[in-house]
Amino acid sequence: DAEITQSPRHKITETGRQVTLACHQTWNHNNMFWYRQDLGHGLRLIHYSYGVQDTNKGEVSDGYSVSRSNTEDLPLTLESAASSQTSVYFCASSASQETQYFGPGTRLLVL
Amino acid sequence: AQTVTQSQPEMSVQEAETVTLSCTYDTSESDYYLFWYKQPPSRQMILVIRQEAYKQQNATENRFSVNFQKAAKSFSLKISDSQLGDAAMYFCALTRGSEKLVFGKGMKLTVNP
């Protein structure tokens, strides 16, 4: 069955370290998205991609970057982790004009 | 800008009863899509129901149905015959299609046995 996976599921890191969160989907969806979820804010968009080599900034993109070298993967990199980036991160994918399907989430703690 | 508002942070319902979750939104677009997602304690985001704005008929999925009032920009979710497994956070969301989802802040539903 097609699916969307995220790894790691839990991560503890230190302030200033570079961290990469993986997202892999087997739906063959063109669109991929990264959101963060914080108490009182719902989910907010970090970055998104409409296809290979395409990346776009969302509303909370500062301190994050993504790259899209193939259809299946959209890794999210925190260049220099900060305590404010402690959150739960969700990856999602969709076909054009269709519903977004979410991965299981990655819980990140920055100490 | 698009916004989604869920004004009730928490609700509770008795098992087997019916509950309605409210959501209002704002968009200048004429073509858009509305969703309800469920997030149980596992934190997985699960699609509950979807409504296309161009469709006048309200969407239904088994025990879940919506009341879509386009002019009023209202999109409420009705859960019939509530079950213990319905206990979760519920998020209302809006998109223009391929673009990002804009989420409300969520509402915690408790189901009492």
Per residue in B15-26, pLDDT (tens digit) is: 999 999 999 999
pLDDT tens digit string along A34-92? 999 998 778 999 999 999 999 999 999 999 999 999 999 999 999 999 999 999 999 99
Rg (CA), chain B: 13
Q: Is B101 on the interface with A (CB under 8 A)?
A: yes
Q: Are B36 and B66 in contact (CB under 8 A)?
A: yes
Render the burial of A97-107: b for 16+ CB within 10 Å, e for the rest: eeebbbbbbbe
Q: Is A39 on the interface with B (CB under 8 A)?
A: no
State how far Cα A18 lies from the chain centre.
15
Q: Is B50 on the interface with A (CB under 8 A)?
A: yes
The amino acid occupying position B95 is: T
The amino acid occupying position A21 is: L
Across the interface, do A88 and B43 touch by the CB < 8 Å criterion? yes
Q: Are A75 and A68 in contact (CB under 8 A)?
A: no
Q: Which two tokens stand for residue A54?
A: 């395409």
Which of A43, A92, A94 is the closest to B98 by Cβ? A94
